[in-house]
Amino acid sequence: MPEEVTSSPAETERVGMLLGARLKPGDIVLLTGELGAGKTTFVRGVAQGTGSNAQVASPTFQLVRIYPGRVQLAHVDLYRVESSTELRDLGLDELAQDGAVVVEWGDRLDVDGAALIQIEHLGGDRRLIRTKHDLGH
Ligand SMILES: Nc1ncnc2c1ncn2[C@@H]1O[C@H](COP(=O)(O)OP(=O)(O)OP(=O)(O)O)[C@@H](O)[C@H]1O
Ligand SMILES: [Mg+2]
């Protein structure tokens, strides 16, 4: 599976952008990585790749943000989600019907067929971006 080391936020955005350009409705991308690893930075690139010019920030109190584009992108952040009820109420299936979905702290979900990307802090500005499971197309 592909691995890339980036040395700046812009490089991580670019890796995200290339993934975003490949996204189709129904795709679900689960991101894992510790606090500050670069998940939101990666999503900023993904949004560009889907043709959105939305301002991508950490959805602090919003569980989901929708970015319209060539393909609608739903940006989900599960950091503050504690209960399985909240996870169920997320409406992931509906979001995936309307477009692609990218999920920060995606290890809190178990979704068949989802792409799985792990971002690892290597110290300083270096990050290892590992595709553990790619899109199914
Ligand atoms: N190579 C890099 N890739 C991504 N971010 C980097 C890189 N080098 C430095 N950074 C910085 O690391 C921080 C990453 O923050 P970001 O919000 O993207 O992480 P996160 O994984 O979403 O965090 P959280 O767990 O809080 O949601 C930013 O301040 C960014 O500028
Ligand atoms: Mg984040």
pLDDT digits (tens, 9 = 90+) for 20-31: 999 999 999 999
Alpha carbon of 9 to ligand 1 centroid (Å): 7
Cβ atoms 2, 31 nearer than 8 A:
no
Residues with CB under 6 A from ligand 1: 6-9, 11-12, 33, 35-41, 58, 79, 104, 125, 127
Q: What is the pLDDT of residues 115-131, one digit of tens each?
A: 999 999 999 999 999 99
State which residues have CB under 5 angstroms from ligand 2, the bound ion.
39-40, 58, 104
Q: What is the CATH number of the domain that holds 16?
A: 3.40.50.300
Alpha carbon of 52 to ligand 1 centroid (Å): 20
Tally of domains within the chain: 1
Residue 90 lies in domain:
3-133
pLDDT greater than 80 at residue 14: yes
Alpha carbon of 58 to ligand 2 centroid (Å): 5
Q: What is the pLDDT of residue 86?
A: 87
Q: Please state whether 114 falls in left (phi above 0), alpha (psi between -120 and 50) or beta.
A: beta
